[in-house]
A = this chain, B = another copy of it.
Amino acid sequence: MTEISSLGEFGLISHLTDHIQTANSSTIKGIGDDAAGLEYKEKEVLVTTDLLLEGIHFDLTYVALKLLGYKAAVTGFSDIYAMNGQPKQLTVSVGVSKRFSVEDLDELYLGIEYACERYGVDIVGGDTSSSLTGLCISITCIGAADKDKIVYRNRAKETDLICVSGDLGSAYMGLQLLEREKAVHQGETDFTPDFAGKEYLLERQLRPEARKDIIDILAKNGIVPTSMIDVSDGLASELLHICKQSEAGCVIYEERIPIDYQTAMMAEQFNMNLTTVALNGGDDYELLFTVPLSLHEKIQELDGIHLIGHITDVDEGANLITRDGTHIPLIAQGWTKIVDEDEENVE
């Protein structure tokens, strides 16, 4: 265990980043100056940023720092894919309290670096700082897209088909499972929970992937979606973003929402409504997109893409049609977790 203070700021930066290489032709200058230098020429530059705070976005009781780093990077990549782009560079800022050692930061960076390697992304900058409490991570991801291929949220048209990749709700059930084990084993310092048969749910929560493969499949088939978004806050919330920005309505069918077997089993065990889990569970990092009706047959042939409904006139609103034919309006959810704090005492 090496105390961070033993290295000092510049020693720490050097320790964490000296070995980092860059590989993309768009990276001209990486870590080590006032700013990174990039060259995008005729491509459009995409920029997205995420803030991850301990106790709000992650719980280090059951999340290993390496996996946290991996997930932090992947969530950034996912936003770039959701524009039909390719992530190219990443900056990583980290604030850490005295509770963390140099080895802890090594683990975090290992996960980030591994994700970057897998997805072909260069780490080009960042910031390190001490914090009064806990761990704070800020990620900015920069990507490239052909101007005529960029997909926004606001161009879904009436009759367009609504598609989603993978399955939904599994990451949320993974979180429920981890929270339950944490509660059950409260106070125990060393326990081995039995997650047999639930590995998929844990993997979806702890080690999500961004859907580069879906972007590649669409490109290979010459398909440019009319709108796209990644599912980080839940299907309902993301669909409402598309509808609002496209000034459209939508209909999705309960029976068509893709749900994995383990998700269904866990929801039953936890006595939760499976459709609610799939609609509102976050952290899926699947791609939700719309394509013109004319692509109906082509889309159905593609593996891992599910047709779940269609875009309607804005006056019809955004609705789920249940198995028994009932129309239920979709409702958005975002974070609402505002935590109490002693106003006099920030520590």
Write the residues of chain A forming the contact surface with B, with a CB cutoff of 8 angstroms.
3-5, 8-10, 28-29, 32-42, 44-51, 53-57, 79-80, 82-83, 85, 89, 91, 93-95, 97-99, 124-127, 129-134, 136, 138, 140-143, 145, 147, 150, 152-154, 228-230, 237, 245, 332, 334-341, 343, 346-347
B residues near A152, Cβ cutoff 8 Å? 29, 33
Contact A10 B334 (CB under 8 A): yes
Q: Which residue of B lies closest to A42 (CB)?
A: B41
**Contact among B3, B8, B49, B341 with A97 in the assembled complex (CB-CB below 8 Å):** B341
Contact B126 A49 (CB under 8 A): yes
Contact A34 B80 (CB under 8 A): yes
Chain A binding surface, main DSSP class: mixed
Top 4 A-B pairs ranked by shortest CB distance?
A: A9-B334, A138-B138, A35-B48, A34-B82
Contact A132 B134 (CB under 8 A): yes
Contact B35 A46 (CB under 8 A): yes
A-B contact pairs, 10 of them (CB 8 A): A35-B48, A48-B125, A49-B125, A53-B136, A129-B335, A130-B335, A130-B337, A132-B339, A341-B347, A347-B347
**Contact among B40, B339, B346 with A45 in the assembled complex (CB-CB below 8 Å):** B40
Q: How far is the CA of A166 from the CA of B98 in the complex (A)?
A: 36
Q: How far is the CA of A9 from the CA of B334 in the complex (A)?
A: 5
**Contact among B9, B50, B98, B153 with A335 in the assembled complex (CB-CB below 8 Å):** B9
B residues near A40, Cβ cutoff 8 Å? 40, 45
Q: Which residue of B lies closest to A96 (CB)?
A: B338
Q: Would you give the shortest CB distance from A165 to chain B, in whole angstroms?
A: 15
Most chain B CB inside 10 Å of its own CB: which residue of A33, A40, A85, A89 = A33
Contact A8 B93 (CB under 8 A): no
Q: How far is the CA of A154 from the CA of B29 in the complex (A)?
A: 12
Contact B143 A35 (CB under 8 A): yes
Q: Which residue of B lies closest to A135 (CB)?
A: B346
